[in-house]
Amino acid sequence: MKTLILLFCKFFQFSKYIGNATNDNPYAYKAMCILSLFLSLNVLTIIGYYKAIIDHSDHILIPEVYEIAIIIIIGVVNYFFFYKDKKYEVIYHEFKKNTPINGARGTWITILYMIITIAMLFSLIWLSRMNIKN
């Protein structure tokens, strides 16, 4: 749970850094959407690995209805956890108090998470192509 809060707060900080809105609502919404996107990629990649390695399937994708359902469920959960009733204000305020994770260490953890997520997705694509060739 602390990792999700760290990722949300770092995405929130980045959104505030590049934005120019007068309040924090758009930044929190952007951070929530980015986090939902990466979490959805994680879930879909894990499902793809299961289908490729365990089921030995040539098709790593699931039906679009399930993909959309996964994305919506993750988005709704993030909405209720971070955005509804401006919970992000309390979460971000507590995050700013934690100096070690708020600085460069937290930034590197976030960057590493994003790189690993994208690398796992590309390795899944490579694995599925190898399964098709064999």
Domain hosting 46: range is: 2-133
Average pLDDT for 72-88: 94
The reported pTM is 0.88
84 and 9 in contact (C-beta within 8 Å)? Answer: no
The pLDDT tens digits for 11-50 are 999 988 888 777 888 899 999 999 999 999 999 999 999 9
Check whether 100 has a pLDDT greater than 80: no
Please report, as a single letter, which amino acid is at residue 10.
K
Is the pLDDT at 76 greater than 70, yes or no?
A: yes
Contacts of residue 121, Cβ cutoff 8 Å, sequence gap at least 6: 41, 45
C-beta of residue 71 within 8 angstroms of C-beta of residue 40: yes
Closest to 96 in 3D by CA, of 14, 28, 6: 6
Total domains, the chain: 1
